[in-house]
Amino acid sequence: MHHPAPRHPRLDPLADRYAARTHGMKASEIRALFSVVSRPEVVSLAGGMPAVTALPLDAVGSMIGELVSGMGAQTLQYGSGQGDPRLRERICDVMALEGITDASPSEVVVTVGSQQGLDLVTRVFCDPGDVILAEGPSYVGALGVFQAAEARVRHVPMDDDGLIPEALEQTLLECRAAGDRVKFLYTVPNYHNPAGVTLSEPRRQAVMEIADRYDLLVIEDNPYGLLGFDREPMRALRARDDRRVIYLGSFSKTFSPGLRVGWVLAPLAVREKLVLATEAQVLCPPSLTQYAVARYLDTQPWREQIKHFVELYRERRDATLESLEALMPAGTTWTRPDGGFYVWLKLPSGLDAKLMQPRAVNAHVAYVPGIGFYADGAGREYMRLSYCYPEPDQIREGVRRLARVIEAELDLHSTFDRVDTGTFRAVSGPQGPSGRGVEGIVGPANSDRYEDLG
């Protein structure tokens, strides 16, 4: 039976016993949207769910069935903490596609998605108060892990070519001056989540030179690297340095996120600690799903399947960019991804994606407000749009609705500017006697205004 969580901490009899690290834990901006985006009338540009129905489901189904009926003694049994050796070999073949040709299966630890890899790496390296450098914005799931470890995140700005090396160096100098212990740089170099941008080749060089000069450890998180639309995979940072880079990989975007299979590639001494940490956490990664991935790689045309995914995502990216170009009001800007799942959109000056969200939901379109992708409260003027899941027609409709919400918001903004020279948020809106300001959930009085947007 489902018991709703107590709304007030005093009603929770265990309220004073929780560990300090739980105090900052909160549902991510994405999870908070789950109930909304699953409503059929809502076009969701929010979740980053891969298009798994594009897989050969019957073939995958029979493959998994055979793994149980024919090999149940292994596939339904506990396995090694480091992960199945056959799968670790195949993982090395996959990484070779990104120029990592020297990896040995003994340096690979299989994880429950790269999310567990992130958690393990953070556990192994970070004490409370340690500083982690991360792109601004950053993957929300990584921020959650860092926060749970009570690490402090310092964001390093990025632009259309990814992380800015000069800003990285500047931040390192500032940390050094402040006496902060920087444990590592966390970076998503390819088709960044949420920014959609890719670290350029010269910048890869520059980032690794800085890492060398400042003795910086780099965590390269690369779930999207094989999902480029127009080119061969970029050479991984790990391909340039096998001591200074720990690489996180995943089958979530190239095969299936539901199987929860990812990995960490790390130097042997680190690998040793990662295996101890994973054994303490889960004993071993699930056997069945590891065998499923290994068998899939052995028997199915997985490279062709990735090409098929790429075609599908390219079409959806095109639908997104074309509709944004055609429909967005002046002053709105966005990134132009050449792979992966995401567009990072900046609203016209003065608008706030978090405040606008209830109006967007009323207009039956969902996105993720940018604020969730920063550890420091920045990002209010940004939002993440995911094009991986909806069909192109839905995407066009979603962008059309979103454009109208932004236009209405701009109208509202200029109206307020005319009646009051104070800041937008300080003004109490025309909602009438409810007294709810524009920050509140859209109430009956002002919801009429958006009714035609659906």
Ligand X SMILES: Cc1ncc(COP(=O)(O)O)c(C=O)c1O
In the complex, which residues of this chain contact ligand X (CB under 6 A)?
48, 113-115, 139, 141, 188, 193, 221, 223, 250, 252, 257, 262
Phi-psi region of 435 (alpha: psi -120 to 50; beta: other; left: phi over 0): left
The span from the CA of 26 to the CA of 15, in Å, is: 15
Q: Minimal CB distance to ligand X: which residue?
A: 113
- In the complex, what is the shortest distance from the CB of residue 144 to ligand X, in angstroms, rounded to a whole number? 11
- In the complex, what is the shortest distance from the CB of residue 363 to ligand X, in angstroms, rounded to a whole number? 26
Q: Please say which residue, 257 or 358, places its beta carbon nearer to ligand X.
A: 257
The span from the CA of 253 to the CA of 233, in Å, is: 15
Q: Please say which residue, 284 or 328, places its beta carbon nearer to ligand X.
A: 284
The span from the CA of 177 to the CA of 187, in Å, is: 23
- In the complex, what is the shortest distance from the CB of residue 382 to ligand X, in angstroms, rounded to a whole number? 16
The span from the CA of 442 to the CA of 430, in Å, is: 11
- In the complex, what is the shortest distance from the CB of residue 203 to ligand X, in angstroms, rounded to a whole number? 18
Q: Is the peptide bond between 137 and the residue preceding it cis, with omega within 30 degrees of 0? A: yes
- In the complex, what is the shortest distance from the CB of residue 281 to ligand X, in angstroms, rounded to a whole number? 14
- Residue 334: CA atoms inside 13 Å, Cβ hemisphere, count? 28
- In the complex, what is the shortest distance from the CB of residue 373 to ligand X, in angstroms, rounded to a whole number? 11
Residue 69 tokens read as 């009926």
- In the complex, what is the shortest distance from the CB of residue 221 to ligand X, in angstroms, rounded to a whole number? 5
Q: Please say which residue, 48 or 358, places its beta carbon nearer to ligand X.
A: 48
- In the complex, what is the shortest distance from the CB of residue 320 to ligand X, in angstroms, rounded to a whole number? 17
- In the complex, what is the shortest distance from the CB of residue 155 to ligand X, in angstroms, rounded to a whole number? 15
Q: Please say which residue, 139 or 247, places its beta carbon nearer to ligand X.
A: 139
> Coil, helix or strand for 345?
strand
Q: Please say which residue, 79 or 257, places its beta carbon nearer to ligand X.
A: 257
Q: Encode burial over 351-371: b for 16+ CB neighbours within 10 A, e otherwise.
A: bbbbbbbbbbbbbbbbbbbbb
Distances (CA, A) of 435 to 332, 442, 444, 450: 30, 12, 12, 19
Q: Please say which residue, 197 or 403, places its beta carbon nearer to ligand X.
A: 197
As a whole number of Å, the end-to-end CA separation of the chain is 35
- In the complex, what is the shortest distance from the CB of residue 258 to ligand X, in angstroms, rounded to a whole number? 9
- Quick one: 386 exposed, middle or buried, by C-beta within 10 A (0-12, 13-18, 19+)? buried
The span from the CA of 32 to the CA of 46, in Å, is: 11
Q: Please say which residue, 113 or 339, places its beta carbon nearer to ligand X.
A: 113
The span from the CA of 349 to the CA of 326, in Å, is: 20
Q: Please say which residue, 175 or 312, places its beta carbon nearer to ligand X.
A: 312
Report the side by side order of strands in the sheet with 162-163: 108-111, 262-265, 245-250, 218-221, 182-187, 131-136, 152-159, 162-163
Q: Please say which residue, 143 or 168, places its beta carbon nearer to ligand X.
A: 143
> What's the distance, CA 445 to chain centroid?
36
Q: What is the 3-state secondary structure (H, E, C) of 58-83?
A: HHHHHHHHHHHHHHHHHHCCCCCCCC
Q: Please say which residue, 187 or 446, places its beta carbon nearer to ligand X.
A: 187
